[in-house]
Structure 1
Amino acid sequence: MKLSVKIIIGLVLGIIVGLLLNVFAPGAFDPIDKFVLSPVGKLFLNLIKMLVVPIVFFSIALGAAGIGDPKKLGRIGGKTIGYFLITTTIALTIALGLASIIQPGAGGGFDTENANFEGSSEAPPVVDTILNIIPTNPVDAMAQGEMLQIIAFAIFVGFAVAVLGEKTKAVRKLLEEGNEILMYLVNIVMILAPYGAFALIASAIGNFGLDALQAMGLYFGTVLLALLLHAVITYGTAVSTLGKMNPLSFFKAFAPAMSVAFSTSSSSGTLPVSMKTAQENLKVPKQISSFVQPLGATINMDGTAIMQGVATVFIAQVYAVDLSMADLITVVLTAVLASIGTAGVPGVGLIMLAMVLNQVGLPVEAIGLVLGVDRLLDMTRTAVNITGDASCAVIVTKSEEKHGASVDQKAEMDI
C-alpha cells in the first residue's frame, strides 16, 4: 500500500475516532489523549522538527552551490519572491471579497464579552525585517530556528562553494552527503506518518468536536471556501499556464505532502516531506526544490493570509465596524509583510492576525472568537501553504528550461 494511502486512512480513522470519543465517551478522551494520542503525535512532530534546521541549511547551501552563477541565482530568487508576493496578494483579495459577500459575522449572537486573546504585538517595521535577515551569529540562528537567517547564511555558504570551485570540493561533497543522510532519515520518519496523522487529527477533533464547528460554521465555511478557490484557481491556473503541467496531476502527485501538512499544521515541519515529494513526484530538480521550498516555508503563507483576511472582516462585522478601502489595503500590506520571517509552526497565524487587527484598530481580544476552530483551520491552511511552495518550484523549473540546457542537465553537469 502506498504511503499516501496509509496517511489518508490514518486521517479518516483519526476523524472517526476523535468524533466518537467526543460524542460518546468524553470522559475517556482525556486519559486516552494524555497517554496515547498526544504522545504519539508529539513524537512524530519532534522527529520531523529534528530534521528541519539541518535540512534547510544543507539543502539551501547545496542548491545555491548547484545554481552557481550569481545571475542565475538572482533570477531564480527574483521569480520565487515575485510569485510568492503575487499569490499572497491574490489570496488576501479572495478572502476579503468572499468575507464581504458572505458576511459571516453579520448575524450577531457572538459572545464578545468573554472573547480573550493574549498575544497582541505590532507588525515589525519593514527596515527591521530586512536587517534581521542577516544573522550576527549563524550558530545561534540555527539554535533558535530563525529560518530567514539560516537561509541567508546557507545562500552565502553555497555561493562561496560555487565560486571557489575545486578549492572547496571537499565541502561540497560534505553538503551532498549530509543532504543524502537527511533525506534517508526523512524516509525512516515517514514510516510513522500514518500513525502520527491519526493521533494528531484524533486529538484535535476529540478536543473541539462538532460544537465548535457549529458555533462558527459560517466563518469556518468561508475560510475553507476561500482556501479551496485559491488552491484550485490560483495554483491550478499557474501550474497549467506557467508550469505546463496538468493541475490534476500536480495535486495528485503532491497529495502525500499535503496529507502530512494537514496533520502537523506546520509548513516548516512538513518541509522534509514536501521537498522529497516535489523532487520525486513532480520531478523538480534538487537545486530548484532546495532553494524554493525552504524559502517558501518561511515567507509564503497564502493559507494563513486567507484566514487573516476572513477573520479581520468577520471581527469587524461582529463589532459593527465598517472597514474603509484604505483599511482593506492596510490589511493586505500588513499581512504580506507580517508573513515574511514568521515561523511556519502551528498557531503562528493568530499572532500574525493580532498584528493585522492592531493596524486597523480592531480589538485584539476578539481573536478569542475564532480560537475554537482555528486548530482545524490551521491544518487546512498549512496544506495550502506548502502547495503554493510546490507550485512555485514547478513554475521556476519550467521557466529555467528556456535558459539553454534544462535544469536537470545542468544539475548532472554540476555533479
Structure 2
Amino acid sequence: MNKATNTKNSGPLQPLVDVVPKNIFSSLVDMSMLQIIFFAIFFGIVVVGLPDEKKAPLTRAVDSLNEVFVQMVWVVMKAMPFFVFALMAGQIVKAAGTEPEMLKQLLSFLLRYGLVVVLGLAIMVFLFYPTLVALTIKKLTWKQFQSGMRDAQLTAFSTSSSVATLPVTMKCVNDRLGVSTRTSSFVLPIGATVNMDGTSMYQAIAVVALAQFHMVDLAFSQQAVIVLTATLASIGAAAVPSAGLVLMIIVLESVGLNPAWIALIFPIDRILDMCRTVVNVTGDGAVSSFIAASEGELTPPSA
C-alpha cells in the first residue's frame, strides 16, 4: 500500500531519479531492478577496464553464482504446485467467511474473471507474439519462436517472476532463437523490468471485472483511463510475484473505485500471476529477437 501511494504522489521525473541507487544492497533487497541494472552496467564497465588477470577470478565467480541460482530456481519449481494450491485454498476460505451463498457468488465471479484473463493472455502468447515475430522477422517462423521460448515460458509459469526466469530466457533466445549474447544481455534485463504486457492486460480486466461485480457502470472515457493507467502502472511494477496486484490500487483510484475491492481477487491471483508472467517473458523474447534482427545479430539454428 505504501509503495503504491509513493508511486502515485511522485513527480514526473522521479523515475529517472530513482534509477540511481542510494544503497545497492537496499536495492537488491527491495528488488529495484532499474537501480540494480544501473549498478550492474556501471560495475561491468569498470570490470571491462581491468587487466585480464585481475578480472578472470571475478568472472569465474559470477558464472558459478549464476549456475547456483539457476539450480535453486529449479528446486523451488518442483514444489511450486503444492504451494499454489495451499495459498488459493486459504484465500478463498478467508474471503468467503462462513456464508455459503457468499462463497457461491465469489466462486462464480472468480471463475468467469479468471477465464477471461487466461483467454486474453493465451491470445497474446500463442497468437499475437508469434505472429508479430513471423511478420517482422523473416529469419524466424511462428513455430520456431514458439518452440524456442517453451522452456522460458514453463519456468515463468512456475516461478511467477521475470527476474527468476531471466537465466532460462537468455538461454532460450541465445541457443534456440539465435539472438546474440551481446543483444540479449542488454535487452532482456531491461525487458524483465519494464516490459509487463501481461500485467497491464490483467490490471485492466481486473478493474473492469471488479466494477461489474459491484454494479458500477464505467463510461468509455473511464475505460480508456483504466487502460492508460494500467499500462503506466505495469511499467513501474517490480518483476516479482504479485507486484502488479499492489499497483492496481493506482488503477482503481484513477476512476474513483474502492482499492479495498482487490481483496476479492486475492484467492486466484497467484495462478493468474503465473499466467501473466508467461506473457511478459514471451514479450521479452519477441523484443530481443526483433532488435537482434534489426542489428544483424540474429542467426537462428538450422531446423
Give the TM interval when normalised to the shorter protein. 0.7 to 0.9
C-alpha distance in 2 between matches for 1:236 and 1:134: 35
Q: How many percent of aligned residue pairs carry the same amino acid? A: 34
The number of residue pairs the alignment matches comes to: 285
Does residue 196 in structure 1 map to residue 79 in structure 2?
yes
Render the CA deviation track for 1:94-133: whole Å, top value 9, x for unaligned. xxxxxxxxxxxxxxxxxxxxxxx99863534432122101
Give a deviation string over 1:37-74, Cα, whole Å, max 9, x none: xxxxxxxxxxxxxxxxxxxxxxxxxxxxxxxxxxxxxx
Number of the residue aligned with 2:282: 387
Shift of 1:179: 4.2
User: 2:113 maps to what in 1?
Assistant: 219
Name the structure 1 match of 2:65: 182
- AA aligned to 2:14 is D
1:134 to 20, 30, 41: 20
In the alignment, which residue of structure 1 is the partner of 2:100?
Answer: none
Give the counterpart letter for 1:226 in structure 2.
G
Question: What amino acid sits opposite 2:65 in the alignment?
Answer: L
Report deviation, 1:249. 2.1
Distance in 2 (alpha carbons) for counterparts of 1:390 and 1:236: 10
Q: TM-score, normalised by structure 1?
A: 0.61
SS in 1 for 2:115: helix
User: Tell me, which stretches of 5 or more residues in structure 1 are unaligned?
Assistant: 1-116, 409-415
What's the CA shift for 1:281? 2.4
Residue 275 of structure 1 and its aligned partner are, at CA, apart by 2.0
2:31 to 116, 136, 145: 145
Whether the 8 Å contact between 2:88 and 2:268 is mirrored in structure 1 is: no
Question: Is the alpha carbon distance of 1:322 and 1:194 closer, same or farther for their aligned partners in structure 2, counting shifts above 3 Å?
Answer: closer
Partner of residue 276 from structure 1, selected from 150, 171, 182: 171
Is 1:314 the counterpart of 2:205? The answer is: no
Q: Which amino acid letter does the alignment assign opposite residue 180 of structure 1?
A: D
Indicate the SS of the match to 1:362.
coil
Q: 1:400 aligns with which of 282, 285, 295?
A: 295
In 2, distance between residues paired with 1:176 and 1:120? Answer: 38
* Residues 303, 170 of structure 1: alpha-carbon distance in 2 compared, 3 angstrom cutoff: farther
The residue number in structure 1 matching 2:243 is 348
Write the mapping of 1:343-382 to structure 2, written as runs, cut at 5 A: 343-382=238-277
CA distance in structure 2 between the aligned counterparts of 1:191 and 1:345, rounded to whole angstroms: 16
Kept in 2: contact 1:316–1:323 (CA 8 A): yes
Deviations 1:302-338 (A, max 9, x none): 1111110101111222333333343233223322222
- Cα distance change of structure 1 residues 253 and 242 upon mapping to structure 2, 3 Å threshold: same
Equivalent in the alignment of 1:154: 40
State whether residues 126 and 337 of structure 1, in contact with CA within 8 Å, keep that contact through their aligned partners in structure 2: no
State the one-letter code of the partner of 1:268: V
* Change beyond 3 A, Cα 1:206–1:321: closer
Distance in 1 separating the partners of 2:37 and 2:173? 19
What CA deviation, in whole Å up to 9, does each residue of 1:76-101 have, x standing for no partner?
A: xxxxxxxxxxxxxxxxxxxxxxxxxx
Task: Tell me how far apart the structure 2 counterparts of residues 391 and 235 of structure 1 sit (CA, whole Å).
Answer: 7
| Amino acid across the alignment from 1:182 | L
Q: What is the rounded CA distance, in whole Å, between the counterparts of 1:205 and 1:358 in structure 2?
A: 26
Higher normalized contact order (CA 8 Å, seq sep 6+, divided by chain length)? 1
Q: Deviations over 1:209-237 (max 9, x none)?
A: 99775442221111111111122332112
Residue of 135, 141, 144 corresponding to 1:241: 135
Letter in 2 for 1:142: L
